[in-house]
Structure 1
Amino acid sequence: MKKRNVLLKICSLLLFLGYFSGLFTASSAYAQEDILTITQNAGYQTNEFYKPKASIVIEAQTGQVLWEDNPDLKWNPASIAKLMSVYLVFEAMEQGKFTLDTTVKATDNDQAISQIYELSNNTIVSGVDYPVRDLLYATLVQSSNVATVMLANLVTANDEAKFIHMMNDKAKELGMTNSTFYNCSGAETGSFNGYYKPEGIDQNADNVTTARDLAILSYHLLKNYPDTVTFTSPTQITIMENTPYAEVLENHNYSLPGLAYGYEGADGLKTGSSPTGGFNYAATAKREDTRLIEIVLGVGNWEDQEGELQRHAFGNAIFDRAFATYEYKKLLSKGNNTVNQEEIILDQDFYGVLQRNTEPAFNLSADKLTVETGLTSVSPTIKAPSSNFKYAKKLKALQNSTLLKNVKKKNGLSTFFVNGLLIILGLLFMALAKLFRKEPIEASSSKKFSPIFALGILFILAGVVLSIYTVVVGPWI
């Protein structure tokens, strides 16, 4: 019997260990699922050769990271660098330096750059005025290097080196800690055949950044200048319409709806490719209230142009994963709410990122409300969502206290008024007593007692005593 019990216990223990071992194995397998597996499971035909070197997905309102794989790998972003140039253009317009309708007169150098076959460009004719609006479309839709240079020169009055320094200064300001820019468009300055040559800048150096830094840049670009998507979303657009220089531009972002890898809600941002950087992709898509930003770097290599399409397969797949797992939504409404068994009052509606089909866990600290998500921010400079609040009980107590003070103040004024009336009344009675006192026909050594005069004295004494009481103790009414 003893042996049987021992065997049963051993079997139970083995089953118990086996169960939890299975759970651990399953969770480990899930945790180790990489971007290649995710993309293949999403139905895209791809293989290890095209696997991105780095990737990240963040939520666009909060900057919280929903997916990351090697996000701090330093990489050449190629034409995605144009997003930094565009940021500085929008900033200059915000500062009132020019507008979308401002025109830039093309120079001989601009025309020469537009004719360099090896560079992505649109047609530019010397002496023609090109609106900033059209140059932005050329930069973001066609990935035109010459349009980017023309915009950069507009910002700095043709000081090419100054613009590069502005790019690096802005990168530091935004929290892009692993980025260095050497040119404004993503193409080495040495490839411009001397027509674009920022003084004192290494002509053969590639721009360097990371998936994380590009996500930070995209976050600030969309947050500060949401109209950016107006220039990144067209699949095709005609610039310089109704002029002899009209030109149709085609977008290389094949994840835009209607194109080869069309993705629901996609409306930007920028592709980039180069011999040293392979194929790269910065994207944004919005579904309902949730907007995501993703960066995919180093897909395939330059010799195999299939990478131009494959980057969209990987981008779409991790977008699918993030949209299916997380959502940005209103968590609490403005006004009275019960949080952690506390009655609180919010100044405004509170939004945040939450895993789908889960309930939010809130934190109340000092006067700040936050939500626990287990997610990290893409940058220390981008804070998690929070909202000011007041404890309902404390607010009510404060209101009651203020009301009581106001009542006491009002009562105090009323009391002093009554006290004053008593004194005035006393003085009046004393005056009346003297006025109506009848003098005897014959002089008398003793004066008659006057009750009116005595009553006046009593009123005055009462007014004085009650005034002292009000000052020392408080209102007596």
Structure 2
Amino acid sequence: MKKRLQTFIVCLLTILIVAGVTQVPNKAYAQDDLNVQANAAILVDADSGKILYEKNADKALGIASMSKMLTEYILLKAIKEHKVSWDQKVTVDNYVYKVSQRRDLSNVPLRKGAQYTIKELYQAMAIYSANAATIAIAETLAGSETNYLKMMNKQAKELGLTDYKFVNATGLNNRDLDGMQPKGTSPTAENEMSARSVAKLAYHLVTDFPDSLKTTSIPKLKFRAGTDDEIDMQNWNWMLPSLVYGEKGVDGLKTGTTDFAGYCFTGTAKRNGMRIITVVMNAKGSDGDGYKARFTETKKMMDYAFNNYSLKTIYAKNSAVKNHKTIPVENGKDKTANIVTNSPLKLPVKNGEENMYKPVFTLDKTKLNKDGKLVAPAKKGTAVGTLSVQYKNGTDYGYLYGKKSSGVKLVTKDEVEKANWFVRMMRGIGGLFSNMWNSTVGSWF
């Protein structure tokens, strides 16, 4: 009886162990087996710039029509600065007209000498990736596409992009411009960027101009509705919820395809308060269908992010940081001032890793004297430093703009009042006697 009981227990334990080993975790993908089938890829939290996954992210590769995100940014910036307006009319020249008649390229047909509003051209570019419309916008902003290249390079530098080359406004191969490409560029050249820089561009587009997503999220729109030039524009981003490969929360951004670049896609989606940005370059499906692969490979990264991470508040607003709760004050009514965070510090945190981040405290030396003290008086809310966090161990891809998060400001919790003259005098006298005592004692011993 005892032997049979022992046999039963061994069998039961074996079954439990096997079941535990073979149980499938409730995750679409683990980071190590994402295996994104593309020449380069990157996955980023759009709020903090935290990189959740990357592959060959610093190699400059063809970007095709993803180039148009830079023109979107430059145009939206120009509108914000009142340099152009949405209802401004643009007259189509011979170059723009000829490109618009290329039906083998993504285009809306434009009439030579006809006028179109900036808004019409912008919608055609952002939704339908219309190449001639993009050139028309570039000419409006800079006078010519050749001059516009200077504007593109200047803006790219200001945004902190690296590993890039621009030879035209559209991302087409220059040979598709039938000899009309910008001066000084090779007839067969094409725009290039690294996946990291593409992600930086997308990051700034959705951060600086969030309303751009109102346009990029439009699945279908008629160009010049009700006119003889009416044409249906279906968004090439087929991951928008109502389209072929629809995914919840997807509302942008830009596809790109040429023989040189392959099938590319920059996507963005928001779920449960967390927005992510994805980039795949030259996606390759196992079945050879690259057009579909750019969406299926993007889905891998989106599933990984949303199933494994959630937006967490590491430090709430008005939080004091351990070991850095105060800062010394010079000439203050009090010798120290309490400092707190001026806003919440939020990050995408992997499930179960809430305690895997350590604070990084950085003082702003420009706000302090040579002794590292805040000089009184100072207003409530005076910024004296920043608080960021660092991952304690394991694989950490860092952030788009460095190894640490940009963090939040540390500010004075209350007004820092200046001590009256008597208090300052007595402190000075006390300091003098203290120095004399220390000097005398030092000579005795």
Shorter-chain TM-score: which interval? 0.7 to 0.9
**CA deviation after TM superposition for structure 1 residue 244, in Å:** 3.4
Superposed CA RMSD in Å reads 2.8
Aligned-partner SS, 1:249:
strand
SS at match of 1:35: coil
Q: Residues 67 and 322 of structure 1 are in contact (CA less than 8 Å); yes or no, is this contact kept in structure 2?
A: no
Residue 123 of structure 2 corresponds to 137
Tell me the equivalent position of 2:247. Answer: 263
- Could you tell me how far 1:331 is from its partner in structure 2? 3.1
Secondary structure of the corresponding residue to residue 206 of structure 1 = coil
Task: Give the CA deviation at 1:296.
Answer: 0.3
The two structures have a TM-score, normalised by structure 2, of 0.73
What's 1:174 paired with? 159
Taking structure 1 as reference, are residues 289 and 191 closer, same or farther at Cα in structure 2, changes over 3 Å only? same
- What residue identity is the alignment partner of 1:346? T
Q: Report the AA paired with residue 352 of structure 1.
A: L
CA distance 1:368–1:338, change in 2 (3 Å): closer
Residue 84 of structure 1 and its aligned partner are, at CA, apart by 1.5
Gaps of 5+ in 1: 1-21, 23-28, 37-50, 410-477
Partner in structure 2 of residue 117 of structure 1 = 103
TM-score, normalising length from structure 1?
A: 0.69
| Structure label with greater radius of gyration | 1
CA distance in 1, matches of 2:116, 2:314: 47
- Are residues 309 and 30 of structure 1, via their aligned partners in 2, closer, same or farther at CA, if it must alter by over 3 Å? closer
Distance 2:296 2:421 in 1: 68
Q: Distance in 1 between matches of 2:159 and 2:321?
A: 37
- For structure 1, which segment, 127-136 or 265-274, has the greater mean C-alpha deviation from structure 2 after superposition? 127-136
Tell me the residue number matched to 1:439: none
Higher strand share: 2
Instruction: Quote the offset at 1:384 in angstroms.
Output: 1.6
In the TM superposition, what are the counterparts of 1:38-117 in structure 2 within 5 Å? Answer: 51-117=37-103
Q: Give the 4+ runs in structure 1 shifted more than 6 A.
A: 406-409
Task: List aligned pairs for 1:64-463, cutoff 5 A.
Answer: 64-157=50-143, 159-194=144-179, 196-300=180-284, 306-337=289-320, 339=322, 342=325, 344-357=339-352, 358-359=354-355, 360-366=357-363, 367-373=385-391, 374-380=396-402, 384-390=405-411, 402=418, 405=420
Distance 2:152 2:309 in 1: 33
* In 2: Cα distance, 1:203 partner to 1:127 partner: 27
Measure the CA separation in 2 of the matches of 1:408 and 1:330: 42
User: Does the Cα contact within 8 Å between 1:352 and 1:371 map onto a contact in 2?
Assistant: no
CA offsets 1:293-341 (integer angstroms, 9 cap, x no match): 110011239xx98211121011011111112223334333333546469
Amino acid at match of 2:268: T
**Compared with structure 1, are the counterparts of its residues 240 and 405 closer, same or farther at alpha carbon in structure 2 (3 Å cutoff)?**
same
Shift, 1:83, TM fit: 1.2
Residue 7 of structure 1 corresponds to: none
Identical amino acids, percent of aligned pairs: 27
SS at match of 1:58: strand
SS at match of 1:203: coil
Moved more, 260-269 or 357-366: 357-366
SS of residue paired to 1:352: strand
Higher helix fraction (1 or 2) = 1
Please say if residues 62 and 383 of structure 1, whose CA atoms lie closer than 8 Å, have aligned partners that are also in contact: no
Equivalent residues, number: 357
Q: Which runs of 5+ in 2 are unaligned?
A: 1-20, 22-28, 326-337, 364-384, 425-445
